[in-house]
Amino acid sequence: DTEVTQTPKHLVMGMTNKKSLKCEQHMGHRAMYWYKQKAKKPPELMFVYSYEKLSINESVPSRFSPECPNSSLLNLHLHALQPEDSALYLCASSQDRNQDYSSYNSPLHFGNGTRLTVT
Amino acid sequence: SQQGEEDPQALSIQEGENATMNCSYKTSINNLQWYRQNSGRGLVHLILIRSNEREKHSGRLRVTLDTSKKSSSLLITASRAADTASYFCATDARGGYQKVTFGTGTKLQVIP
User: What's the CATH number where B20 sits?
Assistant: 2.60.40.10
Which residue in chain B has the smallest CA separation from A43? B102
pLDDT in 10s for each residue of chain A, 119 residues: 569 999 999 999 999 999 999 999 999 999 999 999 999 999 999 999 999 999 999 999 999 999 999 989 999 999 999 999 999 999 999 987 666 555 667 899 999 999 999 99
> How many residue contacts between A and B have a Cβ separation below 8 Å?
67
Tell me the shortest Cα–Cα distance from A94 to chain B, in angstroms.
9
pLDDT value, residue B30: 86
Count of the separate structural domains present in chain B: 1
DSSP A13-38: E-TT-EEEEEEEE-S---EEEEEEE-
Q: Give the tens place of pLDDT for each residue, B69-112.
A: 999 999 999 999 999 999 999 998 766 678 899 999 999 999 99
pLDDT value, residue A98: 64
With beta carbons less than 8 A apart as the criterion, state whether A104 and B33 touch.
no
Smallest Cβ–Cβ distance between B102 and the set A43, A48, A107 belongs to A43
Domain interval for residue B37: 4-111
Q: Give the tens place of pLDDT for each residue, B20-65.
A: 999 999 988 889 999 999 998 999 999 999 999 999 999 999 999 9
